[in-house]
Structure 1
Amino acid sequence: MARRTGRRPGNPDTREAILGAAREAFAERGFDAASIRAIATSAGVDPALVHHYFGTKEQLFKACMNFPIDPAEVFPKLLADGPDGLGERLVRTFLAIWDSPAGVPAVALMRSALTNEWTARLMREFVATQLIRYVLPRLDMDPAEAPLRASLVATQMAGLAMIRYVLKLQPLASAPPEVVVAAIGPTVQRYVTGDIGQRE
């Protein structure tokens, strides 16, 4: 009998056990404090098996979120031209993703975050570690203002997701993307580079 070669197919039960343990760890302790070793112990597997299935801790976290995009691929393109015009580029990219089939899991994630505290915690960690932490160092912002600016941008994007895709409130739900970009982009841009009213 010929011996099979190559990578062994993954065991779905093992994979799901790792994902379950990882979701719990990330939600309870946050991305930075959660360790592959602790996740593996909770799942009853060797840490090497976690790496075998998912690679790095960051890749495991993204698998837990099942988010439709990889920020490491999207944000370099958004930031390539600097902060000017970033608001419109961000809204346009957001709409392109959420209006596509890739947006379906994002809508499900948003709905779940509203009713499930575990999902809400994971969403906060994702925004903080995968989005804000990636973007802020690449923008010329006052470090004292940067966290507030990032949070304000998040209010616009989360609000847009909620009204257009979850509640489907008209006429925003069916407005052409460029109409939405023209309306919301300048507000996002002000949060990035304009006056946000902070005073010493």
Structure 2
Amino acid sequence: MAAPDGKPAPRRRGRRPGGVDTRAQLLAAARAEFAARGYDGATVRVIADRAGVDPAMVNHWFGGKEGLFTASLDLPVNPAVELAEVVPGDPEHLAERILARFLQVWDDTGAASISALLQSVASHEDAARMLREFISRVLVAKVVAPVAPDRPELRATLCGTQVLGLAVVRYVLKVEPLASADHATVVGAVAPNLQRYLTGPLPAAEPA
């Protein structure tokens, strides 16, 4: 907002006047900027300007640009925390750890957030774009690339089909007997295929 002399109003630290939550303002500004410009095009300074706060508030609330991007997706959990739980360990059992963690988180948070996320992605290109960037920047870089022998982008998208497909069938559509199967059964059935996507051989790519 401009001051009476036409110059930009000074940014404020902490909470804005009138009890407006700085964190919420940053999230709203971030969603608009990330949707319009993508992760690389959006900057912390522009997001902070749009929210009317000091850029230091991004680090204060979210720990930086990546944390703000993740938070702007409105996921029910913090992926950075979940990744720290599953990535360390034997790469040949990574799929088992991923599925066990996902099932625990999904059961704890309920299917409503999953359904809302999938509906948003299906009906809004901005949301789909942001989720694509999240998959490429977080999943590919931090989960798949360190263990993949080749073609990490393809492997990451294949993993996405497995995990998101499981989420839809078990929690959104509630198809039995998968919907009520215990975790050990689901992990035992799905993990081998997910592990192949992560570290196993893939069909050779056709020459361009």
* Structure number with higher relative contact order (C-alpha < 8 Å, ≥ 6 residues apart): 1
Aligned residues: 192
CA shift, 1:54, in A, is 3.6
Report the equivalent of 2:92: 84
Please report the RMSD computed on the Cα atoms of aligned residues, expressed in angstroms. Answer: 2.4
TM-score in terms of structure 1 length:
0.82
CA shift, 1:82, in A, is 2.6
Tell whether the 8 Å contact from 2:159 to 2:198 is kept in structure 1 after alignment: yes
Residue of structure 2 aligned with 1:47, choices 55, 76, 80: 55
Report the equivalent of 1:69: 77
Q: 1:17 to 1:9 in 2, by over 3 A?
A: closer
Q: Structure 2: which 5+ runs fail to align?
A: 1-12
Residue of structure 1 aligned with 2:161, choices 145, 155, 160: 155
Supply the AA of the counterpart residue of 1:170.
E
CA shift, 1:129, in A, is 1.8
Cα distance in 2 for residues equivalent to 1:169 and 1:192: 26
Q: Does residue 189 of structure 2 align to residue 171 of structure 1? A: no
Supply the AA of the counterpart residue of 1:116.
H
CA shift, 1:56, in A, is 1.3
Tell whether the 8 Å contact from 2:144 to 2:152 is kept in structure 1 after alignment: yes
Local SS of the residue matching 2:108: coil
Supply the AA of the counterpart residue of 1:148.
L
CA shift, 1:14, in A, is 4.4
Cα distance in 2 for residues equivalent to 1:75 and 1:194: 21
TM-score in terms of structure 2 length:
0.79
Report the equivalent of 2:198: 192
Local SS of the residue matching 2:99: helix
Cα distance in 2 for residues equivalent to 1:108 and 1:146: 28
| Residues 1-200 of structure 1 aligned to structure 2 (within 5 Å) | 11-12=19-20, 14-101=22-109, 104-142=112-150, 145-199=151-205
CA shift, 1:57, in A, is 1.3
Q: Structure 1: which 5+ runs fail to align?
A: 1-6
Question: What is the CA deviation profile of residues 92-127 of structure 1, one whole-angstrom value per residue up to 9, with x for unaligned ones?
Answer: 111111111366434422232222222222222222
Cα distance in 2 for residues equivalent to 1:98 and 1:72: 16
Supply the AA of the counterpart residue of 2:156.
A
Cα distance in 2 for residues equivalent to 1:182 and 1:32: 39
